[in-house]
Structure 1
Amino acid sequence: MVSLLARLPRWGPGGGTTARPLPRAGLALAGAGTVSAAGLLVLALAVGVVATLDPTGGQGAGGSLVLAGRLWLLAQGAEITVDSGPIVLAPLLLTLGIAWCLSGAARVVVRIAGVTGARDAAGMTGLLVAAHVVLTAVLALLLDGPGAEVGLLRALLGSALLAVAAAGWGAGRESGALDSGLDRLPPQTRPLLRAVLAGVLTALALCLAVVAIAVAADADGYAAVSGGLGGAGAGALGLLGLCVLLLPNAAGAVLGLAAGPGFAVGSGTFVSVHGVTLGSVPALPLLAALPDTQAVPLLAFASQAVPVLAGLAAGRTLARRLAPGDGGSVVAGLGGVLAGVLTGVGCGLLVWMAGGSLGDGALADVGAPAIATGVAIAAQAGIAGALAAAFTRWRTAS
């Protein structure tokens, strides 16, 4: 629809027609509006489908839309204060979906507007960010009320940061500004960035595998929690959807476990390789992955290999993508150290986004310590990355 509106004709001199592109501000508003409307509609439909399975009749279309809007705000870092306290926990899979949609909208808008160059791309990104933040503010004001107060400042800041990152990436890729900027940097920059991405994705994939194994090992506990909450098929399906949205958050907690500092689920539950403390936790089936006893499970010790494996993946990727004239094994090893350290920084950022709070008191702190986790992963991945990069470069050259 945006593409069609951009090609609407206008009357020119002599009665002819010429192409009349929409103003860039209009294109930005259309792109951001499409992302918000489509995202909220999909979420509301998903919640509505779950509600139809509820034998008590569910909460209706209006309630489904309100719940979808609150999830949308939480995914962008908003704070919603309910009777039990403030909820600040972004379902990161939904956050990733919003970022992907914003990036795609930015690429479409840039293509339609014919934007080229870094300055025009930055201007279009600013328009998209402004439009997205305004729409988020409107949604926050509409959903703010007694029993569920929305923190407007956090909602605006979170949506702005997400839109800057996602729309900036999309606009930069489509306009060529990102490639032009990378071309001005040293040639080793692209291999380094790919290596860091490989390291972070490897760590994330391994942590998701740990979560899957832990849940599978206590399938009976998952079924008991899921079945004990009532709602028949509606309750089970809704909880499954929530668990899927929170899988990256669970992976972030496992990163804390793998790095050494461990993770907490409130003040009464703490899991690390140094010990396990169990307390009351929310009735969420995904938490069946927690240990059943005070003994440290074997899987927790096995997860200690995650930072090293992430560093090995980063170092190997770096060495394989370096050009023949970019230096030998010593240079590759030094680059591997940097790739491993930046992998730790990326993992620390993921852990920071994955944590939050689920109210006051006992559940005020959920997740792993971001700084300690990032530092520990950076140290381990840096050493592993150096060894992997130097060895891979040596084998490639020999």
Structure 2
Amino acid sequence: MPTPRPESSRLPLFARIRAAIPGWMGGLLTGVQGVVLSYLVVLVPALAAVAGAPSLDGSAAVDWSGATAIATDLWLLGHGVPFVTDQATLSLIPLGLPLVTAGILAAVARRFAVKTWASWALAVAAFAVGAALIGWLGAPDGLRSGPAARAALVGMLIAAPAVAAGIWRAYGARLRILDVIPDPVRAGLRLGLGTLALVIASAAAVGGVWAVLGMDHVSVIATSLRMDPLGAGALAVAETLYVPTMVCWMVAWLVGPGFVVGTGSLYAVDTLTTDALPSVPLLGALPSGSGGWWVWAPVGVVALAALARAMLSRRIGLDWDSAKSAGVAILAVATGLATLTALSRGSAGPGRLADVGAEVVPVTLIGTALVMVGYGLVWGVLAAWRWTRGRMRGDDATVTGPVPLAGVRPDAAAVKDAAAPAR
């Protein structure tokens, strides 16, 4: 008869590893793996590109150090550290990289971190230290402290919610401090974040439409580069990391003010002013038209806000608490629009490319106003429906007993007889 295996041996591999190591060690491993894996996301394509590309002097030597430096600069750029050269400063963040980093941290925390504050804090601290180390090594001599501190700060901002999300997915952890948040505030945050999510998803869909319409332009640019497969793959990875940045641009386009890709250009629903752009295939997916039906695109933001408000009409009514919820939602939308616009704005090169992205103030003000109009429309419809329904119920009410004359009190016995059911 076979000997039964211990209960611990029946657990999945990651569960056995987590059970065998101390809780604090699991948090430390989460942060370290987050740094290493996110760095490999940019390092591996860079090494592959230089390995497959011919050298400029015709020798067989491969510039591994140059590829590593490029990958380090790109990783730091994705974590908020500008890339400074003698000719220009590159500060346009590839927002896909912090999203990938957050996803990696959440996945690793789900398997290694434990449900303790110490494990969470060690994971965040370990990632911040690793980011600071990469910032220190990637910065030029004499200017190491600034990039290291900035990378550590941004790393903490990315790691803190990502690790918490991973622990929550693994253990169902619940923050009791959230219980003190009033219900109107919770409802308002749900409405505001839901509205913002609808706007971002719609902007991504519209950007996808423009990308399909510009497929020929994209293919022409890609063909003109004459890159080998490995180099083309590395470029595709880098461009993919910038797709979320372009989605934020499309939010500004959908709201109305639009965005610029170089000084003197403007991509908006009512205006299209272009100039020469770098030979980057991704830029072929920019909007190639304006006017006509596109000028009605901001009305779509009103419709999305109205949809979000209507979906939460049972939770958010017409009383004073609902008014507070609407105020919280509007504040959440304004904060989200300002943050997205600021993160997707920066410098993409020398000269006119030093100005890329959208203006924060116009996008925030106009976008918030459109959302308020959408909320107001639903509020007005609900109020009118409630008033109409009340009037209809009042008109349909009938008197089943005798109606007394004005100023005469009805006899109690007569009222009792009238209210009694007929035999």
TM-score of Structure 1 vs Structure 2, range by shorter chain: 0.7 to 0.9
Quote the offset at 1:268 in angstroms.
2.9
In the alignment, which residue of structure 2 is the partner of 1:276?
Answer: 272
In the alignment, which residue of structure 1 is the partner of 2:343?
Answer: 353
- Check 1:395–1:226 CA distance in 2 against 1; reply closer, same or farther (3 A cut): farther
Q: Output the CA distance in 2 between the equivalents of 1:227 and 1:94.
A: 26
Correspondences of 1:1-398 after superposition (within 5 Å): 4=16, 6-8=18-20, 21-22=21-22, 24=24, 26-50=25-49, 54=53, 63-111=66-114, 114-115=115-116, 121=117, 123-145=118-140, 151-171=147-167, 178-290=174-286, 296-298=290-292, 300-320=294-314, 322=315, 327-328=317-318, 332=322, 335-336=325-326, 338-388=328-378, 391=381
Is the partner of 2:181 in helix, strand or coil?
coil
Quote the offset at 1:162 in angstroms.
1.9
- The count of aligned residue pairs is 370
In the alignment, which residue of structure 1 is the partner of 2:420?
Answer: none
Is the partner of 1:89 in helix, strand or coil?
coil
Say which one has the larger Rg: 2
Quote the offset at 1:222 in angstroms.
0.9
**Unmatched tracts of structure 1, length 5 or more:** 9-20, 116-120
Quote the offset at 1:32 in angstroms.
0.6
Quote the offset at 1:359 in angstroms.
3.1
Instruction: Letter of the 1:350 partner, please give it.
Output: L
Q: Output the CA distance in 1 between the equivalents of 2:147 and 2:160.
A: 20
Quote the offset at 1:342 in angstroms.
1.8
Q: Which has the higher strand share?
A: 1
CA contact (8 A) 1:191 1:317 kept: no
Quote the offset at 1:306 in angstroms.
4.1
Instruction: Letter of the 1:342 partner, please give it.
Output: A
Instruction: Letter of the 1:257 partner, please give it.
Output: W
Quote the offset at 1:31 in angstroms.
0.8
Quote the offset at 1:30 in angstroms.
1.1
Q: Output the CA distance in 2 between the equivalents of 1:34 and 1:223.
A: 37
Q: Output the CA distance in 2 between the equivalents of 1:79 and 1:186.
A: 40
Q: Output the CA distance in 1 between the equivalents of 2:212 and 2:172.
A: 45
Quote the offset at 1:273 in angstroms.
3.9
Taking only aligned residues, the RMSD between alpha carbons, in angstroms, comes to 3.5
* Cα deviation digits, residues 164-195 of structure 1 (max 9, x gap): 34334545676766542222222344433332
CA contact (8 A) 1:345 1:375 kept: no
Q: Output the CA distance in 2 between the equivalents of 1:327 and 1:203.
A: 23
**Unmatched tracts of structure 2, length 5 or more:** 1-12, 390-423
Identity %: 25
